[in-house]
Structure 1
Amino acid sequence: MKVFILLRWFFKQERKSYLIGIGMLFFVAILQLVPPKIIGIVADEIGGRTLTAKELFGWLLLLILTGLTMYGLRYYWRIYIFGSSVKLAKQLRTQLYDHFTKMSSIFYQKKRIGDLMAHATNDIQAVQQTAGAGILTLVDSIATGGFVILAMATTISWKLTLISLLPMPIIAFLTSLYGKKLHKRFRVAQEAFSSLNDKTQESISGIKVLKAFGQEEENIASFRDQSEDVVRKNIAVAKIDSLYDPTISVVVGLSFFLSIGFGAKYVVEGSLTIGELIAFNTYLGMLIWPMLAFGWFFNIVERGHASYNRILSLLNERADVKDQPEAVELVPSGDIKYRVDRFSYPNTDRYALDTIHFSIKRGQTLGIVGKTGAGKTSILKLLIREFENFEGEIKIGNIPIQNMKLDFYRRAFGYVPQDHFLFSTTIKENIAFANPNASMEEIEEAAKIASVHEDILSFPNGYMTVVGERGVSLSGGQKQRISIARALLLNPEILILDDALSSVDAKTEEAILTALKENRKGKTTIITSHRLSAIQHADLIIVIENGKLVEKGTHEQLMTKEGWYRDMYHQQQLEMEVKRGGSSSNGK
């Protein structure tokens, strides 16, 4: 029953619909008392040979009217009660989705995608059942059971009613016991399903890797083991679930045994008529559904309680990056002053960044280079506020970045990450993702700057070509350039290319960089790269090694120093010469 307390906010919100639906349920419960009573009266009149055709027609007409009224009421209470439960599912699903979009990166590092999907599907469905079928079974079992018992006691025999209901406390005790066990087992079963869901999602997303390494059989075996684990845990739930109906059937059978035994005695004594005994046992038969509904109610409620606790646990997790109380609605622009003394990722003691200080003026280009794992992407993550647990200060336009609301702050950025994510839709919609109202001319212009326009035109349907999930039908270079076009379409104040040119050839890289320089005058651009050719035109280049800034300056300034940058530049130039030489000899 605790789940109803937790959901009281929703019942208060939809109280009108629930009150109308419950009112109709109560009226149906009262109307259900009419047929057994008529049957008892008609049986006694037949036994006394006093029933006339006119009376019989009247009773039949009353039965028909009662049936039609119940039909209409049952139709509408379903709309009000089950319709409201669908609204609850919609609200919870929206809350979860909204919550997911607000959570920071660390949340998704801790959570599995399959588990999050299970929360938004199976768990919400269980809570919806509680607000729909749960309310029905609770109200119907109380209303029908209460009115039937009242009719039995007041219109036939209170003694026989009391005797027949003696076994009923057994149901209350056992269903409570079953409910506690069901709650625990259902939660475990849902967690197992979440793991299976995650395994499925991960396997499908990584199918290319599985095939490349020949791990299909091992993956299938692992999936089979997890699937069997889900079955075992759901069977454990079913074992408790299956106890409800037999328990109720035995208890109701005992009630019938007592009713017929003592009822026959009262008929012989003359304190009860045959018709009244028939009506009494008909009423008793009507108690089977409330008893079954009562058991079903505990089943539904415990499932819903376990699932709602899982949903609440997820919703109660707070985002690591959130708006400060004094934050203003401001889209940042201006010079960037980056002063980070220390930064380490959550749950690690090692510093990812250590004394990173630099400044760039608005409209300049910053190049960030260094070995893999040096800390280049970490610098960007702090700038776009994926993390905020650092020592130091970052300012844009002389305003600390924490003083601006996130929704407004991130409007200043166009970000092309290392992992290029494309949606399963057309190329046009992928490019226009952040600006759905962009014209076709604007989309094509962004694609031209990103040097992908000609590639797109070569596809069968051009810009209307549908790419597979995550852009699976495109090459790495095409995905990178479409991602760049998507960022450029926003014409952002600050464009960040995080190793976003790694999959394009030197000629295409040069074309993109030239187009960026021409089209982004007065706008800031930040580029991280392993290839120094991508950043040698930058106004400022910083070299990162083990999270520390070891060199800083323009290309010309860095080439005068004996350091990592000059060594790497000469090495990459030599590699290019070797490639060109190899190409020439192959051409001969």
Structure 2
Amino acid sequence: MKVLVQLGWFFKQQRKQYIIGISALVLVSLLQLLPPKIIGIIVDDITDSSLTASGLTKWLLILGVAGILMYIARFYWRVMIFGSAVRLSRTMREKLFHHFTKMSPSFYQKRRVGDLMAHATNDINAVQQTAGMGVLTLVDSIATGGFVILTMALTINWKLTLIALIPLPFMIFLTSYYGRLLRQRFRNAQEAFSHLNDKTQESITGIKVIKTFGQQKEDIEDFTDLSTDVVAKNMRVAKVDALFDPTITGIFAVSYILSFFFGTKYIIAGDMSIGDMVAFSTYLGLLVWPMLAFGFLFNIVERGNASYSRITELLSITPEIKDLPGAISERPKGDLEFNVEEFKFPGDEALALRNVHFTLKKGETLGIVGRTGSGKTAILKLLLREFEGYKGSIQYGGHSIHQYKQQSLRASIGYVPQDHFLFSTTIAENIAFTNPKIAKEKIYEAAELAQIHQDILSFTEGYDTIVGERGVSLSGGQQQRVSIARALIMNPELLILDDSLSAVDARTEEAILEALKQARTDETTIITSHRLSAIQHAHKIIVMHEGTIAEAGTHEELLAMDGRYKEMYDLQQLEVMVERGGEGQ
């Protein structure tokens, strides 16, 4: 019952609905007591030949009224209790989703999407069952069971009632034992389902890669193994689940045997009438459901307990990046000063950055080049406050970036990542993602700056073209340019292009850079790239190597140094010549 206590916060919120629902449920339990008693009275009247037409009509009318009241009460308890359980499901999903949006990147590095989805689907459904069917079975087993036992003892024969209840302690012991087994097995089954969810999500997302490398057979085998594991662990749950009904039914069979054996003796002795015995056996039949419900209760609650603990464990993880008390709510603007002595990503032993220092004046463009893993992206992640725990400081507009609210800081930065993510909606809605109500003219302006406007107009549906999941219907270059337009629509103080021109041709790259230069004369830009052509125009260029700045200066100054930058430049010039068939520029 631990999970019901833990859900106390929700029961308090919905106390009115639960009070009405439980009251209706108790009313049904009371009204159910009438038919057996009335049947017993009618049987005795028939036995005594004292039943009259008016008497029979009276009892039938009472039964009819009781039936109508039970119909109404059953409607209301379903609406109130099950309706509240659905609201709990919605509340828990909203909590989880809100929690996911607050989490730092390291949270997602440690957890897979399929597992998080399993928490938001199967686990929440199990908790919903606890707040709905669990509350129903708890109240019904106590109310109906309690009322029936009291009625049997007080109005028929208390001795026979005690005899009939002798096997019940065995049922309580066994169902409690089954419940403990069920909790751990259900948790294992949910974890197995999470792994299967992970596999399904990864396989569907990476289906092109799987087919390209001809790994369909191996992927199906992996999926089959995981699916088999899910089935096996759910079968272990089902085996325990299957023990409840036979156990309860068997114990009640013993109760019936004892009741009829000793009830017959009491009738012969004159302590009970035949009508009393008929009523008693009918009441005993009414006890079957509360006792079955008691078994269901253990089943439902233990499933809910396992799932709720998985959810609360996830919700207990605190975001690594938090706003300071009294954080600045204004968007930062001005000069950018980056001074980081040391930084390493969580879980890594090697330093990602060391002794990286540069200043970027408002309106300037910074180019960052270097080999993969040299620290380019690490600089950007720190600027975006996706990671902390570094030695040094990052100042933006005269204040440490820690002094700004995260929302304010990121609202000032238009970030175009290497991994472009487009939503499965229209191109216009993807571009206007940060401001869905923005005028269409502004969307067109951003698209023109990103050199994607003409491409969009060539599509049959134009800006209303659905791009598919992750922009699957667009080429890599088109995806990059839509992402750039989405960043530009924010009118950011700082635009960051993280190797975001790699999939466009040289002519388009040049057109984009020229358009940005003309349109963003007073805003700051940072461009990381492997292609030097993308950063040659920058006011300042830094060359990263093994997490530190190896060289810094303008394009001309770096060429004059005859170092790493010059080596990269010469190599890329050679590649251009080869592409052109060996002709010079």
TM-superposition CA deviations, 1:145-171 (whole Å, max 9, x none): 000001000110001101110111011
Give the aligned partner of residue 388 of structure 2. 388
- In 2, distance between residues paired with 1:26 and 1:131? 17
Give the aligned partner of residue 167 of structure 2. 167
| Amino acid of the structure 2 residue aligned with 1:305 | N
Question: How many residues get paired?
Answer: 584
Please state whether the residue corresponding to 2:561 is helix, strand or coil.
coil
Give the aligned partner of residue 318 of structure 2. 318
Structure 2: state its 5+ residue gaps. none
TM-superposition CA deviations, 1:380-399 (whole Å, max 9, x none): 00000010110000000110
Matched, 1:206 2:210: no
Matches within 5 A, 1:13-412: 13-412=13-412
- In 2, distance between residues paired with 1:207 and 1:459? 26
Q: Which moved more, 1:321-330 or 1:545-554?
A: 321-330
- In 2, distance between residues paired with 1:77 and 1:544? 67
- In 2, distance between residues paired with 1:172 and 1:352? 60
TM-superposition CA deviations, 1:215-271 (whole Å, max 9, x none): 000000110010000000000001110000000001111111111000000100111
Give the aligned partner of residue 7 of structure 1. 7
- In 1, distance between residues paired with 2:155 and 2:216? 71
The ranges of structure 1 where at least 4 consecutive aligned residues each deviate by more than 6 angstroms after the TM superposition are none
Matched, 1:498 2:498: yes
Please state whether the residue corresponding to 2:302 is helix, strand or coil.
helix
- In 1, distance between residues paired with 2:274 and 2:156? 11
Shift of 1:537: 0.5
Q: Percent identity?
A: 61
Question: Please, what TM-score do these two structures have when normalized by structure 2?
Answer: 0.99
- In 1, distance between residues paired with 2:555 and 2:57? 104
- In 2, distance between residues paired with 1:93 and 1:416? 29
Kindly report the root-mean-square deviation, in angstroms, between the aligned alpha carbons of the 2 structures.
Answer: 1.0
TM-superposition CA deviations, 1:424-468 (whole Å, max 9, x none): 111111111111011111111100000011111111111111111
Give the aligned partner of residue 522 of structure 2. 522
- In 2, distance between residues paired with 1:378 and 1:187? 38
- In 2, distance between residues paired with 1:583 and 1:195? 55
Q: Which moved more, 1:575-584 or 1:119-128?
A: 575-584
- In 2, distance between residues paired with 1:8 and 1:409? 38
Give the aligned partner of residue 551 of structure 2. 551
Shift of 1:578: 2.5
- In 1, distance between residues paired with 2:288 and 2:34? 17
- In 2, distance between residues paired with 1:582 and 1:321? 52
Shift of 1:328: 2.4
TM-superposition CA deviations, 1:70-110 (whole Å, max 9, x none): 00000011111111111110010000000101101111110
Give the aligned partner of residue 573 of structure 2. 573
Shift of 1:572: 1.4
Please state whether the residue corresponding to 1:492 is helix, strand or coil.
coil
- In 2, distance between residues paired with 1:408 and 1:449? 25
TM-superposition CA deviations, 1:353-384 (whole Å, max 9, x none): 01000001111111000111111001000000
- In 1, distance between residues paired with 2:87 and 2:63? 36
- In 2, distance between residues paired with 1:183 and 1:328? 47
Structure 1: state its 5+ residue gaps. none
Please state whether the residue corresponding to 2:372 is helix, strand or coil.
coil
- In 2, distance between residues paired with 1:547 and 1:56? 95
Give the aligned partner of residue 513 of structure 2. 513
Please state whether the residue corresponding to 2:347 is helix, strand or coil.
coil
Shift of 1:581: 3.1
Please state whether the residue corresponding to 1:243 is helix, strand or coil.
helix
Please state whether the residue corresponding to 1:186 is helix, strand or coil.
helix
| Amino acid of the structure 2 residue aligned with 1:536 | Q
- In 1, distance between residues paired with 2:312 and 2:331? 33
Matches within 5 A, 1:394-473: 394-473=394-473
